[in-house]
Amino acid sequence: MAVVMAKTRAFFALTGRAINEVLSFFVFSILDVLDFILCYVYRVADFLIEAEWKPCYCSPAKEAVMGGGKILVSERSESKVVRLTSSSKLQLEEISDTLYARPSCVAEVSKCTERKRERGRGRSVFAVNAAIVEMLQGKIGGQKFSPIPRWSDCDCEICNSWASSCKETLFVRADGPRDNVQEDVLFIHGFISSSAFWTETLFPNFSKSAKSTYRFFAIDLLGFGRSPKPADSLYTLREHLDMIERSVLEPHKVKSFHIVAHSLGCILALALAVKHPGSVKSLTLLAPPYFPIPKGEQGTQYLMRKLAPRRVWPLIAFGASLACWYEHVSRTICLLICKNHRVWNFITKLITRNRIKTYLIEGFCCHTHNAAWHTLHNIICGTAGKIDSYLDTVRNRLKCSVTIYHGRNDELIPVECSYNVQSRIPRARVKVVEKKDHITIVVGRQQAFARELEEIWKSSKGN
């Protein structure tokens, strides 16, 4: 009987996978065509409403030649040459090729991203997407970008925060003692979230002793929540780290600190720890997106396929695939959700009367497509080749404790990712929380998690 039941389950599982594969092919083939059409729709809309359109990542690549400490970028269809400073080379190296190389289900529409053979002594040629060059030209040339959002972005005070007096720093929610601070804790949220992920869950649940001992900093990352959302930013790792340092470490004179990070924030936490190896007292990572890259695989493309497999089921994988693979479809979703975030917030409050769900909706909706698109590709996908070295540095150079939490039912980042981190850092402790997923690893168990964090910080005092 048991054998028959096992065979039956295996049959249904195989059938379900087959249906998922076939249905996914048809759905994403349609999305490929839709994204192609929307590309031209937005070009027309941008031109009619704003009298200009910015090149998207469907735009033709430009030929870039590096030599003599400068980057020369020439239009393939024109003879003009644009001269960029040597600092732009560093920015180009931080840009993920997944921004403009995403193979279609219908036809190969990805642009050439491989380096070509060396032409001439000391010079190399490679393809650079037009959108990237336009943004770098504006930055390096000192072009002034209007603080007014694009027509498809929200123009409320929160979303237009880069036009305010605090445009050079992130939004920071600080809590704890103002004088006689013993230790500091930095909280970094995940993708399309905000500082409220921490302030509405953990901050109210820390003990009086912890609140008198630790100073807590929860930030809205660049492009999210109440933080600036510059239209000319490429949202690279360097930009995110610089803003964290400028907004927290420098003004508050933070010398040593604990880090608590969730999902995408784990990548920033590791990079920050590597940059400040003598300052980190403990690392607590929740659902770190670490996928070891097999030999022979291109790291950025492999990670994109793992995180966004272009499957209609589970739903969270479908959502990740829409956000990652389709520039114009995701812009449309952002137009519907983020531009109208105040409406969604009102509806959520009206229907649920639930404060927790309300702040989650607020964090999910308060960003721009430009910020989400670039952060997703340049931080999660673009750092695929760097994570190994970050983990090795934490293992070899840092003495801080490393604790990893993961929800057993997390369908976005599998539990194996946390064990992959542990394989790289043997001293790391992995705690798998049963019946919890990517969000409920914190939400719904905030009291217990607050106590656990306090224990981690107490035991790290000797580090």
Q: Which residues are catalytic?
A: 189, 263, 410, 438
* Short-list 363, 350, 336, 357, CA closest to 158: 363
Beta strands 183-188; 124-129: pairing state: unpaired
Separation of alpha carbons 154 and 206, rounded Å: 35
Beta bridge partners of 185: 216, 258
Structural Rg of the chain based on CA atoms: 23
Residues comprising the chain, all counted: 463
Amino acid occupying residue 401: S
**Helix extents (H) in 51-129:** 87-93
DSSP 367: B
Q: Is the sign of the CA dihedral 223, 228, 229, 235 positive or negative?
A: negative
3-state class (DSSP) for residue 396:
helix
CA 200 to chain centre: 21
- Non-local CB neighbours of 133 within 8 Å, separated by 6+ positions: 62, 64, 73, 82, 84
Place of tokens 């998690």: 449
3-state class (DSSP) for residue 423:
helix
Separation of alpha carbons 319 and 384, rounded Å: 21
SS3 sequence of 27-57? HHHHHHHHHHHHHHHHHHHHHHHHCCCCCCC
* Short-list 291, 308, 307, 320, CA closest to 387: 291
CA 196 to chain centre: 17
| Residue 206, CB-side half-sphere exposure with 13 Å CA sphere | 21
Separation of alpha carbons 389 and 391, rounded Å: 5
**Both tokens of residue 145?**
């970008």
